[in-house]
Amino acid sequence: MANVRIERLHKEFRGAGGIVHALADLTLDIADGEFISLVGPSGCGKTTALRIIAGLETPTSGRILFDGRDITRLEPRDRNIAMVFQSYALYPHMTVRQNLEYGLRKRGAPRDERARKVAAIAAMLRIEPMLDRRPLQLSGGQRQRVALGRALIRDPEVFLLDEPLSNLDAKLRVHMRAELAALHQKVRTTMVYVTHDQLEAMTLSDRIVVMNHGVMQQVGRPEEIYSRPANRFVAEFIGTPSMNMIEGQVRTEAGRPLFTGPGITVVLPRDAPQALPSSGRATLGIRPEHVSLVAPDAPGAIPARVTVSELAGPERFHFVAVEGGSIIVRTPAATVLHPGETVALGFDPDRLHLFDGTGEDAPA
Ligand code: ATP
């Protein structure tokens, strides 16, 4: 096992279309045994970061250190890493056993060591009954377990996973997600996990790195990223459905900071002003679960009209129209609203987020 330091990493790709800045000044310390996820939209640079850690790509500048050793120039095979991709990359003509022991064989490991390790990994991943089958005779989840096993058997210092669950159907994904979490508990190897699925990142990770356009936007524990997003990008990227965003103005009235948007006036907590945007223009963010249905005459109640109401298992998402646009309200399933119905909304004052025009957060 190893800690990983990513130091001032830059990566440019030069092509016919010009220069692409895939990574800009990425610095990150990953603790020994940590499960860290890189998330972000397509093209944000997460795979490039992982490939540089693996040695499959050379950085334009910056360094990678494992336990303080600079490994930036080492070949992938000399790094003691194992990588699992979304395409499992198993050898189709080999049995599961042969696939598992391939790396050990290449290293010249003796037969009894190979047998012992295959048995241990197969037991851990519950693939013993499949050892003599070929990959095509396995289900997607079983194949994915073999791919994990093939990586694990080498006892890597660092495990790199690039969207390993994305080829599985929704139900199997949830199942394999739990298996991966259990596996990490067991082996405690440092894991760097790339996904565009924020739910996967939220449930699996010790910490999450949110990236956009090659730039790290925030790093933190899942609950930190969710409840204290560093900027508007993170706030909108993390959470399903997305955080509600309302454009408006902030000003101070009788010593109290106020946010006003179309048909909305919200009193902000007193400590908000020091971070208020100087232009006065601001965006108020509030998650759907922090919007409640209130009495129409409650102070600050926001009039709204229900457009759509969706049942999502134990809860409901209500899409309601307010003067300035649309807001999503999340309630228990028992709260039934009908399209066309008039309601009044209240915002939990402790759960407001305020963003200025540049996207920086001034937590309200
Ligand atoms: P996805 O989720 O779609 O896999 P990603 O976040 O993993 O996206 P990267 O694959 O790291 O993104 O790509 C980052 C940027 O670098 C993109 O703009 C991509 O087009 C560009 N890029 C990646 N590899 C190359 C390459 N070999 N040559 C030129 N540009 C590249």
Who's near 347: CB < 8 A, 6+ residues apart? 266, 286, 290, 291, 300, 302
**What are the average pLDDT values for consecutive 10-residue runs of the chain, which has 364 residues?**
93 92 97 97 95 95 96 92 83 94 90 93 88 92 88 89 85 84 90 93 96 97 95 94 93 85 84 63 94 94 96 96 94 96 95 72 48
Cα of 49 vs centre of ligand 1, distance in Å, is 10
- Looking at the domain covering 242-356, what would its CATH class be? mainly beta
Q: Does the C-beta of 15 come closer than 6 Å to ligand 1?
A: yes
Cα of 15 vs centre of ligand 1, distance in Å, is 12
pLDDT of residue 180: 87
Strand pairing report for 158-162 and 190-195: parallel
Strand pairing report for 342-347 and 302-312: antiparallel
87 HSE (CA, 13 A, CB side): 3
Distance CA 120, CA 116 (A): 6
Which among 54, 63, 67, 125 is positioned nearest to 96, based on CA atoms?
Answer: 125
3-state secondary structure string across the chain? CCCEEEEEEEEEEEECCEEEEEEEEEEEEECCCCEEEEECCCCCCHHHHHHHHHCCCCCCEEEEEECCEECCCCCHHHCCEEEECCCCCCCCCCCHHHHHHHHHHHCCCCHHHHHHHHHHHHHHHCCHHHCCCCHHHCCHHHHHHHHHHHHHCCCCCEEEEECCCCCCCHHHHHHHHHHHHHHHHHHCCEEEEEECCHHHHHHHCCEEEEEECCEEEEEECHHHHHHCCCEHHHHHHCCCCCCEEEEEEEEEECCEEEEEECCEEEECCCCCHHHCCCCCEEEEEECHHHEEECCCCCCCCEEEEEEEEEEECCEEEEEEEECCEEEEEEEECCCCCCCCCEEEEEECHHHCEEEECCCEECCC
The predicted complex's ipTM stands at: 0.96
Residue type at 363 in one-letter notation: P
pTM given for the model:
0.89
Cα of 79 vs centre of ligand 1, distance in Å, is 23
Q: Are residues 212 and 196 in contact, defined by beta-carbon separation less than 8 angstroms? A: no
In the chain, where are the structural domains located? Answer: 4-236, 242-356
Pocket test for ligand 1, best of 9, 20, 83 (most atoms within 8 A of CB): 20
Cα of 122 vs centre of ligand 1, distance in Å, is 35
Cα of 155 vs centre of ligand 1, distance in Å, is 29
Distance CA 287, CA 234 (A): 13
Answer yes or no: CATH 3.40.50.300 is held by domain 4-236: yes
pLDDT of residue 293: 97
- Give backbone dihedrals phi and psi of 196, rounded to 5 degrees, phi first: -100, 0
169 HSE (CA, 13 A, CB side): 3
Ligand 1 atom nearest to CA at 50:
11
Q: Are residues 229 and 239 in contact, defined by beta-carbon separation less than 8 angstroms? A: no
Atom 20 of ligand 1, nearest CA residue: 43
pLDDT of residue 270: 67
Q: Does the C-beta of 44 come closer than 6 Å to ligand 1?
A: yes
Q: Does the C-beta of 47 come closer than 6 Å to ligand 1?
A: yes
Atom 3 of ligand 1, nearest CA residue: 42
